[in-house]
Structure formats: C-alpha cells, structure tokens
Structure 1
Amino acid sequence: WLDFDNPYQTIDPGYIESAWWAIQRADERGLLERGHRVVNWCPRCETAIADSEVEYWDETDPSIFVKFPVVGRENEFLVIWTTTPWTLPANVAVAVNPAFTYARVRAKKDGGEEVLWIADELIEPVLKMGRYQDFTVLERLSGSDLVGMEYASPLAGHVPHQAEIRHRVVAADYVTLENTGLVHIAPGHGWDDYLVGIREGLEAFCPVDAGGCFTPAAGAFADMYVRDANDVVIDALGGYLLARRTITHRYGHCWRCKTPIIYRATAQWFLKATCIRDSMLEEIAKVKWYPEWAGSARFHDFVKESRDWCISRQRYWGIPIPIWHCDRCDGYTVIGTVADLEERSGTKIADPHRPYVDAVTIPCSCGGEMHRVADIFDVWFDSAVASWATLGFPRQREAFDRYWPADFITEGQDQTRGWFYSQLGASTVAFGRAPYKSVLMHGFALDAEGRKMSKSVGNVVTPEEVMNQFGVDVLRFYVLWANAPWDDLKFNWDGVKTIHRALNILWNVYRFPLPYMVLDSFQPASGETDRWDGSFVRSHIRDMPEEDRWIVSRVNTLIRTIDEDMQEYHLHRETRALAAFVLEDLSRWYVQLVRPRMWLDEDSPEKRYAYETSYYVMRRLIALLAPFAPHITEEIYGNLRQEGDPESVHMLDWPEADDLLVDAHLEADMEVIRSFDDAVATARQAGRRKLRWPVAETVVVTESVDVKAAIEDLNTLALNRANTRTVRVAFGTWDRILWQAEPVMRAIGPEFGREGPKVKALIEQADGTVLKAAIEREGKAELDGYEITARHVTFAEALPEGVFAAPMKDATVYVDVTLTPALEAEGYAREVIRRIQEMRRQLDLNVDDFIIAAVDVADERVASLIKKEEWQKEIAG
C-alpha cells in the first residue's frame, strides 16, 4: 500500500522548491540571518552540524590545571581547569561566578612560594593535586571583586596573537564550584564562551581551519590537528602547568562519520528560532501527544532551551541554499521558486542542483553581480519541509488544502531533538503553526534484559531472523502487542512464540467450518445490494441460539473497544484484545459450543445460523485485524470474498459496531457460564471424572443474584458444558454440605485452663453442622455444660462422598461424580465415540469420507445405547 512508483524524494525539483519557498518565507518574516557564531563542527566532513546531529559517547581526554599569571603581580596566578588544552591558544578571558568566594592563597612547594587564586571551597583538593606542602589564605574576595583583573596568556611566547590580547576576568553565572571555580574562556570554541564574549565585547579568536587544523594564527601550533596538539600544548605550558590528569566523559561526535566534533566560530546562515520559541511552545500545547509527557515535558523542555538553528552546511550533495550574495555591496536575495530564479537571472534552469545552479548569476541593484552562496541546507531542514513538500506545495494547493497539517506522525524518542523539532521549527517559520495534529513517540527495541542491542555484546536480533522463522505478521503483531508503543520493547522469543500460536489458532478457527460449508454448498446470504453486508445475522438474531447471539455481540463489543483504543493509539491494548478474542472467545469457547451443530442435517436452521454467524464474525474480525496482521487477513479475506466485494481486505471500510447486536446482559451471563465451566473442569479433575463421562448433579452455591440469574438463564448451556443431568443454584448454602468442627486451642487454653483438653475433645466429637448452625443463630452453643462461641471453633467443609468442589467467580461449584449404572453405560458409550473419532484422525480421513465401523461391546448396557439413532449419528460424525 505504498506508492513505490511515485515516492517523495528530496532530490526532486518540486521538493527542492518547497524548501526554497520556506526559506524565502523566513527571510520575509525577518527570521533568516547570516552570522559569525560558534557551531558544532565536524573536522572530517568539514561542515557545521546541528545539535540534533551530535551523538554522545565516552571519550578519555586530558584534564589539566593551568596557572595564568596575573598582570603586575609577581608570581601570582589564576588557576583554571580544562579538558581541551587545544583551545588554550584561543583563550581571551577567565570567568568567575560573581556570587562565589575566591581565596588568594600563598602556597609552598619544594622550597618555593606562589600566590594562587582558587574558589575558597576548592583550595585543598586543588593544592593537593598540585602537590603543595603548605598554604596560607591571604585574603578572600567575592567573584564580582575579581572582575576586571588582568592576566597574561601562558602561551604568549608560542602564539603571537596572544600577546596582543588584553586578557581579563569576567563574570558568568554558569560557573560552578567544580575543579577550581575559574573557567577559561575561548569565544571562538564554545557556545557559552561565545555568549560571554558577545556580552563582554571579547574577540572570538578561532585559529582553526575547516579540517580541524591550526592556522598560522596559532603560531607554533600551526598545521597541527587540534586533538593531536593536546600534548604539544601541554608541554608548551611548562611551569604554568599545575597538574595533569585524564578524564573519561561524554563527548560529542558527528552522526555521519563518528569523528569527535569541535566548536568553531564560522560564518553561517541561521533561522532565528529564539524569536519564535514562544510560538513553538504554544503550538506544542495544541498538539495531541502520545504519551502526553512526550510533548508537555520532554519536547517542551528541549524547545524551551533551543538555540537559533544553523541551516547551512559546507557540503556538495543536498538542496542548495537559494541565497544569492553580492560581493560588491554585501547585499543578498532569497529565491523562492525556480520560475523566480529564471526570471531574475534570465537563465533556463534545467536542474536546481549543484553544480548547475552555482553557475547562475543575478544582476544586483548596485550594478554588481550576485552569486549563489556555496552552502547547502542542513538535511534536517530537508526533512523539516516534508509535510508540505510531499503534497507539492507551493506549486499545487489542492492536496495541501485537503491534507495539511498531517493528522499523525510517529518517530522514536530521540526525535524530540530531530524530526519533531525540525518540522515544528520550519512550519512555525513558514505558516505560524505546527505541521502535525498528533504525534506518537515510540520506544526502542532492546534485548530481553533491557540492554541496547549490540553486535559486540552479541545480543542483536534482526527482523529478518524473526521473519524467516515465524513470518512477517508475527513480528508486526508481536511488536505492537508486547508493550505500550511509547515504552521500550524488551524483545522476548517467548512472546513471539505466543503470537505465532495465536495466529495459527486464528487460521485454524477460520478453517474449522470450511469442510462442512463445502459439503453443504453454503453461500453467505447477500444483502439488498446483492453483496454480503451481514444483514442476515441482523434480521435473524432473535431466533439464533445463545452462543451465536453471544459471539455476534462480542465481536461488535470488540469493535467498540478497538475504536476507543485507536483514538488514543493504545496499540498494545488493541492487539491484546484481538488476541484474547481469537484465543478465548472464538477458539476456546464459541468453536467448542458450535461444533456439534456442524453435524446437523443440511437444511437445519441451527446449522445455517452457525454458518452465517461464523462467516459474519470472521469477516468482521479480519477487518479489525488487517492493520496488525495484513498478510494472513488478506489470505483469509481472499477465500471469504464474495462477488462485488472490494479486491483486498485493506480496501474494506473500517468496521463500525452494530449497537443493535450488542447484548451486554448476555455477555455478562456468558462470562458466568465460562467461569462455571472452568470450575466444573477443576472439580471433575479432583474427582478423577473426565468430562465425557456424565454426572448426576452439579450445584452452584452463591450469594450473587447475577450468578444465579446467569445459571438459570443459560441452564441448557450449563447442562451441556458440565455434561450433567441437572444444574441448580443453591442461594447462600447447600443442604448437602457438612461441616467439621475444629477447636481453636489458643482461645480454649486461656479460658478453660485444665479443662481445655476436655473442651477440645467435645468440639471434635460434636456434629459440626449442628454446632455451626447454633453459633450462627444464637452466637453460642453448649457442649456438656461448656459454652462454646465462634472464638473457640472454626469450621471446615466436609463434603459428602463423591462430591468435589471448585471456586468460580462469586460462587462455589459442587459436582457429584458418583456413578449410577446408567451413567456408567453412557460414559463407556462416549469412550467408543472418542476412539472411533481418534481412529478417523489417525487415518487422516476427511469429514465426508465414508467409513464402516464395527464395534464389539461386551456390556449390553453400552451396546443398547450405541444402537440408538442419535448415538449412531454422533459416532458417524
């Protein structure tokens, strides 16, 4: 159902125009800016990259403490700490927190003295690291008092430009009480540093080229790759190095090539996201998020801290940025369409890609000539315009007006800083609103222990591995069934096998009535339009047996449930409800109830009802299942499809619940019968009496009016399921239940003292049923002159011989498995039937295969039974 003949591709000219149009809108709204700022930079790709394109993992780097000499004070230093020694050639300032207290410390080491400035709370750990033997605090000042203090670069002899800079202390609230409490500032190599530099008027000195190598401005370090230069810079510090360690910390890497990034001040094009941040936050609140916290917390918090978006990339392949710049007047213009470019340049544009578009020039109003800037768009901007570019906007409006904004999008948790954000930013710039109405943030697939799958760990399970073993539908259904879509999936093979079994059972349930339908040449009844529409079931529902009315009601209730869960994208609830319906309602219950009717005469109304009901339920069910198990439902539909039906199950209308066919009372009654059925099976197992052997009586003891009503309303069904002569309800108690009295010695001992053993014996010998009744009636009873209350005795059921009990919901079921001669004969007769049917199965006979069965029975009672016509039909079936 994907249009592979007409996929949307960012390479298409129409798609490119959609991106061009969006950037022109940004310029029209004053939201496009060319600036010289610090950006994430990949030195291998030689391009800026967005925050969302940075991947983090651990790296081990130098951790150094450096002394910056204070100007005009001999042997006095500011102590800073850094993990990027290569940025020291670009240092222009030191930042302190104005609210912190800093100490001027005289420190002694190896017979010498130095005066060091360190945050007061960090004196001892810093001096210990520098191996100082003793110290004295000379004075303490607030950070604000240090602002303006001047110092010299310890690398001035290696980097000539450092000697030209007036280095000074500045204030910064983000400085923390870690390491030394003083931070080295290089505005050309850090975003926070850059912002401080803007505020303080500091130079954004950046002696690093696009490949991550020092330029000649770095003096002695020229031509070195910056990360390789760390050790060289450290060595150049000489005596200014106070201490050297290493640190393992999270460090950013390029998402494409995995190279460690650097921060570099360059000229780039930016969307001024900070100007529309409030609008984006308002739009987030209008979108329906699944789960809710994905929008209100995670995404909201990310957008709240978002920076201006660097949309330019120094690469070749991609959508060219449609900005033409004039070197003569430094003006620029933004082109929104190919037609606009052709008109203004007088050139026919065959292809809006590089290198063709690079050759196009535009006359400038100053008399100069405009050339296209060499950059391309950030690929996240390519994807950001997808919601309208895929609809052909702005070239065409019809599809856009009909389908935009998108009803629904979904992506992984990591896309709060990726596609969710890029779409929101671009759309808010272009249209002033979000491009989507609802967003589902899904989790990730992990191993069974909740660990990330990794080849190195050896815990990777590929989709192909699951599909090759179990099929596509099983994988699809399992992923949706295992947990809520926004939670991480802990992949488990047992869960896959459970779904494989469920879909196999679905197939078997579908196949179950087919041989009988073929034998009887069954065709489902058509509706008024000569197409199947389920009208037969609707018009005959009152005449149908309870099990038919029940399963019809259940499938329509299921449709309601699925609809409600669909509204909230509770895909796990939907798939679990569907699986439970197949396994419990259809396979374990309805098929068992309806099976005997498949053997009725061809013209039997009850058989016709069974066929029509089975067909109705399967048609409704596969339409519900189709999105979750598309292949098996397509196969089933292809076999059930009638003349005039759509070609595919996926072309059917989504099922709507038929409220007239929903019988909540019958469904509740049937739940009682199913609970009763389980209890009967448990009691029979305790009494070692198989279900095929009839029993004389089954009693349900309850205080629930609902249980009583259900057993009475569906008594025939209860009789058949229990294979019992009678089923009756005893409200409150059953007169055949006996009670055995058991003394409570912890109460008897303290009250009766030495008479306790006698009282104990009296209770054990008493008629428990009589004693229980007396205590319940009077609150006490007398035994040989001793007053006995509920404190002194408990009562345990003492069932009559041959009676076995099992609990059900709100009731207890008692089954009398005592055999009479007639019951025993019927039991053996049913054993004969079972064995003949087993022989048919072993011989792999079809339903319509004719057989001759010879039965030699020694017991005349059994023989007389199997000679009867109704029994012979059962044997033949």
Structure 2
Amino acid sequence: CPKCGTFEIMGSKEELHERAVAGWQEFEGHSPHRPWIDDVKIRCQGCGEEVSRIKDVGNPWLDAGIVPYSTLHYRTDHAYWQEWFPADFVTESFPGQFRNWFYSMLVMSTVLENTPPFKTLFGFATLMGEDGTPMHKSKGNLVVFDDAAQRVGSDTMRWLYTNHNPEQNLSFPRVPTNEDMEKSKQTGLPVRLSEKWMQVRKTLDKIWNVYWFFVTYANIDQFNPAQHQLPVEQRSELDRWILSELQLTIREVTNGLEHYDTVKPSETLQDFLDDLSNWYLRRSRERIWASGLEQDKVAAYLTLYECLTTLITLMAPFTPFVTEELYQNLVKSVNEQAPMSVHLSDWPQVQENVIDQKLTNETHLVMRVVGLGRAAREKAQIKVRQPLNALYVRVPNMDEEEALTRLKEQVLEELNIKQLELMSNDSNMLAYTLKPQVKVMGPKYGPLVQKILAVIKGLDEHSVQVAAQQLEQTGSFFLAVDGKELELTRNEVDVASTARPGFVTAEERGYIVALETTITPELRNEGLIRDLTHYIQDMRKRAGFNIEDHIGVALYTDDVKLANMFVDYQQEIASEVLASNLLVSISQRDYPSFEETYREQISPTSVKKLESYTIEVVLGKL
C-alpha cells in the first residue's frame, strides 16, 4: 500500500476473487499475469486504501519452486498434501536447473516445512549435437524429435539414453536426413544408420533374433509352452545354468532400478542377452533341430521361452515398444488370461532356489577357455570349421582344473578340437620372457635398477620359467641382487609367453591356452567336409528353401579322391544339410533321382572356394 506500507500475499485465485473491489470482470478467464492482473484492485487491510499488485517481479523460478505446495492443496487440505509429499522422484537437466528449479524448491520447502521436498533428485548432463556442441537450428545440428523417432526408432533412442552415463554430456548421433530418406526411396535400399546407432541397435537386433529362432522352430514343431511343464531340476546342466543367470539378472536389474540407475541394469541385460544368444542358444541348436519332441527338446524350448518372456518384462521399462510386440506374440497369444500388456505384468521375482553359483562359475570358466581358444585360432589364422588335434590349458587352481576336466567336452565342441590336456606348471610347452618395468622400479630401487636388469638378463631358461610361474601364481618372486634378496612383484616385472614351434598361445590373467596348429591329412579332410556343408547351407538360403524342407543334393567332381571322401562322409553331409537324397558322382551324366531346382559351382575362381577343387552342387526339393 503506497499510503501505509502494508503488503499482502494472495494464497489462491479464490481468495483474490473474494478480496477484489474492482477489475475482476476484466481479469476473469485469464492467467494471473500482466496485463490482466493489473486491473484487479483490493482494499488495504491496514488503512482501507484501494491498492494494486506490487509492480516488481520476483524470480519466476520461485513460482516453480512452490509447486510441491501450491499443487497439492497445502493450505486447504493438509491431509491430502501429507499423503503425496515429499515427491519420490524429481528429474531435470542438472546444469540448467541446479540453481533454478532444484534450488528454489529446496529453499521454499525449507522455509515452509524445514524439510526437503523430494526423496530422490536426479540431474543429468546436456544433450549435444553430433559434433559435441550445443544444438542450434542456426548451426544446422538441431535434431527434431519426430524425425529421430521415425528414422532411428523410439526404442533405439531410449536404449541410447539408458546406457549413457548421465553425468556426461551426450552427443546425439547423426540421424538420416531428408536427402537420405529420398535416396532410399529412389534406390529401394534401406537407410544406412551411423556406426553409433548400429552399435546401439545390436541389443535390440539380438533379442529379436533369439525371438525369431524360438518362434520359427516352435511353429515347425507345433510347440505350445502352455501345454508343457518340466521342473528345473529335471533339465540339463545347460538349461539350469542359463536359468541361474536369469535369476541373477533379475536381481541386478531390480536393484539398479530401485536405486534409479539405468546404466548398470542395461549393461546386465546386455550381458545376459549375450550369454543367451552366443552361448546357450548356440549350444542348444542341435537339441532343437532334433526330430520329435523328446524331453530334452521340450526342456530347451521351455527354458528359452522362460528366458525370453522374463527378459522382455525386464527390458519393458527401457524399450517399451519392441517388448510389447514380443509379449503379444509370446505370451498373450498362448494365454488369454495374461495381462493385456507387458506393462501391466507383474515384475519378475528372484527364485533363489534356481541360482547355482558353482554352475555359473564353472560355465564362465569354460566360456573363458573357449574365448582364449578362439583368440589362439585367430592368431594362427585357422578358422573354427577346421578341426585341430589338441588344446593345452593352464588354469590358476585345482578346483578349476577339476571343473575343466569334467566339462572339457564343451570346450572341444565349441573349438572343434579332438582333445584337451591340462598343462602342468613345469610344462616345457611355453617359453617365458621376463620384462622388467623400469619406470615402475626406478622410484623404489634407484641405482639398484641396473643391477636388477643385469641379473634378470643373466637368468637361464629354467630360472626364468620358475620366476614366471611364481609371478603368475603368487604375484611375486624373489631375486638375489648384490647380496640382497629382493621381492619383485607383477607390477614391476611383466611376463610374456611364447609357444613352442607348432603351437599358438593366448593368455589372460593367469589363464593360458596352447593350440596345436599341425593339420594332418585326416584333419584337413574333415575341414573340407565342414566347409562343404557350410556352403550347401548357404545355397539352401539362396535357393529359397524353408528351414524345415528336406532336400536332395548331388555333388559332381572329376577328382576321384575327393569323390571318395564325400562318400566316406556321406551320412554327416546329409544330416547337416537335411538331405534325404545325396548323390556323389564323377560323371555329369549320372542324373539325380530328384528334380533339380538350383545349381552352383564351387571353383578356385569363385567367391566360395574349396581349396583348388571344382565341384558342381545341385539341389532339389523332395
């Protein structure tokens, strides 16, 4: 009031209406802002003078800061306010809101109730353009949401966000432009996404591929999960392992989301999907390809179904659209009583009795050895389809030696190896080299470093081997230098191992494999047969055969030895390519008993080669 200095705060629009003595008709129907609010007059309670609003404008963030009170009927229905206050979760961009909305909410709540207005406050960094600079239309790096959602996919965008550390700015990857879309229409070719988007979509592609595999073969076998039950304890070790991993995944994802963390859960989901696709599914294919519906095949189907349906529920908060699509086909189509949407389903609960930590550890051991074996094959440039004679393995402890001995068949199958042997610590298969880390040793040993280097250089082969094995097993070894017994650690002396002639090694944190690379004539022949069956499988796809189609195959070659080898492996070839009729001949006049539908030639000049041989391959549907 300009006359007596009294000022008042209106607590609501209703209170302002009750106090108004002029201007309400002009204000009615408008928001409480200029110019309409300036028409309203009230009577000063101090002196009775007619007064208007104070012309000064406060920080508008104070208006946002009072939201936890003004929108929850703090003054008129305190019980209702207490029911909803404080907020469970508040989130906004941290750089912009730290001193604005977050601050004003905290200050206002401190003044009114001396308590924070939220239980959890989540601030994230800034979304930038592809070049790492702020998005601006004038700079040409602004991405319109609708364009990105349509051209990249909403779930792909969500998966990008949930995998990103919110503390760091995110450079939004390039989105296909209008020119890219027009070019795609003209050429009929799909729009090519950037490498970053392709990397993000790998997870979504992988779950779709696992889903496709299950649906394809379940339909062929007319398998209905609602019609089968099999207790976990009656299933194979492979089934029990992936179900144990599933329970651990449920636990990790649930714990992360309960703490408002999306990064760790999304990493856990990706790890499980890798295990499901790259290990479980690959090792279960032969079971699912088997004829009939025996118990082991039913167990594989049920296990894969349970993993898929649980996985899509866990992924639903991250990728709501693709998981809904999978849910409708996997769950709703076979169970009319199921919730109408994956987003209305119960959250998975951990089944502690299904977790088998020992089995998990043992399977991860096998996977680690297989990974090292593949690395050794890659180093030797020998593909997995080429069988090899032996793999020698060293693991850090006796428990793992026992487990690997029991589970070695899995390693042999995965690596296409005939035998696996454990390497003893005194094995002479590996040659070791000690590599002193001078920069690490210098500050500790000073002038003594040069003498240490000289002593290490003078060690004989046996002493080097003993020192290397001690470093691998205990993390240190003792060395006599200038009359002193020094303990050198793995940080100070690194160990490198090389294979004896005829072997290739790979190692990781104390785990070592040595792969025998000699290829005998017998092994070479087996490799040729595997290459041939792989080629025929590709031909089946190019010829347009369905997965379940039984076919006829005719192999023509003028090499008598090669033809005889095909005859020797006739049963294996037929089984792999689903051939009920297989003809091997050195004469093109020897016509097959089936009608030819597709023909290709393998030759030294073709894209697909089988060493220096020329083979005519004929396929026909039976």
Normalising by structure 2, report the TM-score. Answer: 0.70
Matched, 1:383 2:75: no
Deviations 1:422-446 (A, max 9, x none): 2223323333322111111211123
Which residue pairs with 2:218 in the alignment?
A: 517
Give the superposition deviation at 1:353.
4.4
CA distance in 2, matches of 1:514, 1:629: 20
Q: Following superposition of structure 1 onto structure 2, how do residues 33-52 of structure 1 map, counting pairs within 5 Å?
A: none
Give the superposition deviation at 1:630.
1.9
Which residue pairs with 2:209 in the alignment?
A: 508
Q: 1:679 to 1:330 in 2, by over 3 A?
A: closer
Which residue pairs with 2:292 in the alignment?
A: 602
Q: 1:344 to 1:819 in 2, by over 3 A?
A: closer
Q: Following superposition of structure 1 onto structure 2, how do residues 307-456 of structure 1 map, counting pairs within 5 Å?
A: 330-340=5-15, 351=29, 353=31, 368=48, 370-373=50-53, 379-391=60-72, 393-394=74-75, 400-412=81-93, 413-447=95-129, 450-456=132-138
Which residue pairs with 1:578 in the alignment?
A: 269
Find 1:863's aligned residue among 545, 567, 577: 567
Q: What value does the CA root-mean-square deviation take over the aligned residues?
A: 4.0
Q: Following superposition of structure 1 onto structure 2, how do residues 249-328 of structure 1 map, counting pairs within 5 Å?
A: none
Deviations 1:108-139 (A, max 9, x none): xxxxxxxxxxxxxxxxxxxxxxxxxxxxxxxx
Where 1:417 maps in the other structure, the secondary structure is: coil
CA distance in 2, matches of 1:706, 1:456: 64
Counterpart contact for 1:428–1:434, Cα < 8 Å: yes
Where 1:653 maps in the other structure, the secondary structure is: coil
Which residue pairs with 2:595 in the alignment?
A: none
Report how many aligned residue pairs link the two structures.
Answer: 501
Matched, 1:551 2:233: no
CA distance in 2, matches of 1:697, 1:391: 73
Give the superposition deviation at 1:405.
0.8
Q: Following superposition of structure 1 onto structure 2, how do residues 696-711 of structure 1 map, counting pairs within 5 Å?
A: 696-711=389-404
Deviations 1:208-238 (A, max 9, x none): xxxxxxxxxxxxxxxxxxxxxxxxxxxxxxx
CA distance in 1, matches of 2:462, 2:54: 99
Instruction: Decide which structure has greater strand share.
Output: 1
Find 2:539's aligned residue among 816, 839, 844: 839
Where 2:350 maps in the other structure, the secondary structure is: coil
Q: What residue identity is the alignment partner of 2:211?
A: Y
Q: What residue identity is the alignment partner of 2:564?
A: E
CA distance in 1, matches of 2:574, 2:282: 21
Which residue pairs with 1:639 in the alignment?
A: 329
Find 1:628's aligned residue among 289, 310, 318: 318
Which residue pairs with 1:478 in the alignment?
A: 160
Deviations 1:650-685 (A, max 9, x none): 222333332222222222222222221122223334
Q: 1:820 to 1:739 in 2, by over 3 A?
A: same
Q: Following superposition of structure 1 onto structure 2, how do residues 85-96 of structure 1 map, counting pairs within 5 Å?
A: none
Which residue pairs with 1:728 in the alignment?
A: 421
Q: 1:420 to 1:687 in 2, by over 3 A?
A: closer
Percent of aligned pairs with the same residue? 27
Q: What residue identity is the alignment partner of 2:239?
A: D
Q: 1:431 to 1:860 in 2, by over 3 A?
A: same
Which residue pairs with 1:196 in the alignment?
A: none
CA distance in 1, matches of 2:200, 2:433: 50
CA distance in 2, matches of 1:770, 1:387: 73
CA distance in 1, matches of 2:281, 2:49: 82
Give the superposition deviation at 1:517.
0.7
Q: What residue identity is the alignment partner of 1:409?
A: V
Which residue pairs with 1:497 in the alignment?
A: 198
CA distance in 2, matches of 1:380, 1:344: 26
Which residue pairs with 1:649 in the alignment?
A: 342
Q: 1:351 to 1:372 in 2, by over 3 A?
A: farther
Give the superposition deviation at 1:845.
2.7
Where 2:554 maps in the other structure, the secondary structure is: coil
Q: 1:733 to 1:542 in 2, by over 3 A?
A: farther
Counterpart contact for 2:394–2:422, Cα < 8 Å: yes
Does 1 or 2 have the higher relative contact order (CA < 8 Å, sep 6+)?
1
Find 2:409's aligned residue among 700, 705, 716: 716
Q: Following superposition of structure 1 onto structure 2, how do residues 847-858 of structure 1 map, counting pairs within 5 Å?
A: 847-856=547-556, 858=562
Which residue pairs with 2:606 in the alignment?
A: none
Counterpart contact for 1:695–1:816, Cα < 8 Å: yes
Where 2:88 maps in the other structure, the secondary structure is: coil
Deviations 1:460-497 (A, max 9, x none): 44545543432122222213323x21222244554333
Q: 1:846 to 1:703 in 2, by over 3 A?
A: same
CA distance in 1, matches of 2:464, 2:261: 56
Matched, 1:469 2:151: yes
Counterpart contact for 2:214–2:305, Cα < 8 Å: no
CA distance in 2, matches of 1:397, 1:655: 37
Q: 1:701 to 1:417 in 2, by over 3 A?
A: closer
Counterpart contact for 1:478–1:495, Cα < 8 Å: no
Give the superposition deviation at 1:723.
1.8
Q: 1:799 to 1:394 in 2, by over 3 A?
A: same
CA distance in 2, matches of 1:549, 1:383: 53
CA distance in 1, matches of 2:128, 2:300: 45
Matched, 1:671 2:364: yes
Q: 1:428 to 1:800 in 2, by over 3 A?
A: closer
Give the superposition deviation at 1:842.
1.4
Normalising by structure 1, report the TM-score. Answer: 0.51
Deviations 1:512-536 (A, max 9, x none): 2211011122222489xxxxxxxx5
Counterpart contact for 1:485–1:570, Cα < 8 Å: no
Q: 1:804 to 1:343 in 2, by over 3 A?
A: closer
Q: What residue identity is the alignment partner of 1:863?
A: V
Give the superposition deviation at 1:419.
0.6
Where 1:731 maps in the other structure, the secondary structure is: coil
Which residue pairs with 1:110 in the alignment?
A: none
Q: 1:816 to 1:331 in 2, by over 3 A?
A: closer
Where 2:225 maps in the other structure, the secondary structure is: coil
Give the superposition deviation at 1:700.
1.0
Q: Following superposition of structure 1 onto structure 2, how do residues 809-824 of structure 1 map, counting pairs within 5 Å?
A: 809-820=509-520, 822-824=522-524
CA distance in 2, matches of 1:700, 1:424: 61
Q: What residue identity is the alignment partner of 1:373?
A: R
Structure of higher CA gyration radius: 1
Unaligned runs of 5+ in 1: 1-324, 528-535, 752-758, 780-793
CA distance in 1, matches of 2:465, 2:13: 96
Counterpart contact for 1:470–1:500, Cα < 8 Å: no
Q: What residue identity is the alignment partner of 1:874?
A: E
Give the superposition deviation at 1:454.
4.1
Q: 1:649 to 1:334 in 2, by over 3 A?
A: same
Where 1:814 maps in the other structure, the secondary structure is: strand
Q: 1:681 to 1:465 in 2, by over 3 A?
A: same
Counterpart contact for 1:407–1:437, Cα < 8 Å: yes
Greater shift, 365-374 or 701-710, is seen at 365-374
Q: 1:631 to 1:393 in 2, by over 3 A?
A: farther
Counterpart contact for 1:463–1:475, Cα < 8 Å: no
Give the superposition deviation at 1:647.
2.0
Q: 1:707 to 1:465 in 2, by over 3 A?
A: farther
CA distance in 1, matches of 2:71, 2:327: 32
Counterpart contact for 2:393–2:514, Cα < 8 Å: yes
Give the superposition deviation at 1:447.
4.4
